[in-house]
Structure 1
Amino acid sequence: MEKMMFIETGMGIDVHGQNITRAAVRAVKNAIHYNSMPGIRSVLPNNSLDNMCVNVRLAVPCDKENLDIETVKAALPFGKVTVEVVDGGMLTTSGIVLEEKGDKNDQMYIVIAAVEVGY
């Protein structure tokens, strides 16, 4: 990325089901959900959203091998998206196992996202 213009952060949790991809997508959506960048095209090369770069850094507590990067990328509506996964996030108890929700145990998966936008 030549010029970084925004960094947005978010947190996503999968309370039941222990699905690291679900938590990661929620973290990315939380990071971008309350943002609008109405002038972004005017600063991108050729005024095109195709030239926007979006770098996602995910702090993931476990199950990295089960993280579906393509599903995470699909949560972002525009840009050339890259995803980096680092150690972090959190595992904590939900206090209950709900088998009908897909729980294998009582763990909540918490993922933190930093979404960098630029060109």
Structure 2
Amino acid sequence: MSDQRFIIEMGMGNDLHGMDYQKAAERAIEDAIRHSTLPIFQSTAIPLETMRVTVTVGVQDPAALDCAALAKRLPRGRAEVHAVLGGQNVTNPETGETIVIATAAVEAFLPYQGAAWK
């Protein structure tokens, strides 16, 4: 049987000055993972390396993201990051400065564990 998603968390991050999509994406991912804890690994013999982590980050300029660098920042599991069109750019009409807002969905998957649970 294929992997099963056992957690999904959402986060939001921004860069108020500098229009740095990478910084906003890093903050969105950090926001999402700070909303969760995975006691399953402390309570079972499941190795952390079996967890697959998929992150989808939405920004207005997906090509501006270094997805490999974002994946390296994830603390657990085998991670992959995908950039998609999303988030928001909000421009201050008085200064012309643009605030970058990124959103992130962090999903964690494990191989099917049904036979291991009673």
TM-score (norm 2): 0.82
Q: Report how many aligned residue pairs link the two structures.
A: 109
Partner of 2:108: 117
Instruction: Map residues 11-50 of structure 1 onto 2, 5 A cutoff.
Output: 11-40=12-41, 47-50=46-49
Counterpart of 1:30, as a letter, is: D
% identical aligned pairs: 33
Q: d(CA) in 1 for partners of 2:89 and 2:106?
A: 22
Identify if the C-alpha distance between structure 1 residues 11 and 96 changes in structure 2 by more than 3 Å, giving closer, same or farther: farther
Partner of 1:70: 68
Shift of 1:83: 1.2
Which structure's CA Rg is the greater one? 2
Deviations, residues 96-118 of structure 1 (Å, cap 9, x unaligned)? 75xxxxxxx50011110000011
Q: Is the 8 A contact 2:9 2:32 kept in 1?
A: yes
Shift of 1:40: 3.3
Partner of 2:78: 80
TM-score (norm 1): 0.81
Instruction: Map residues 75-114 of structure 1 onto 2, 5 A cutoff.
Output: 75-94=73-92, 106-114=97-105
Partner of 1:101: none
RMSD (CA atoms): 1.9
Counterpart of 2:108, as a letter, is: V
Gaps of 5+ in 2: 111-118
Counterpart of 2:31, as a letter, is: N
Partner of 1:102: none
Deviations, residues 17-75 of structure 1 (Å, cap 9, x unaligned)? 111110000000000113211113556xx61101111000111112x222111221122
Partner of 2:114: none
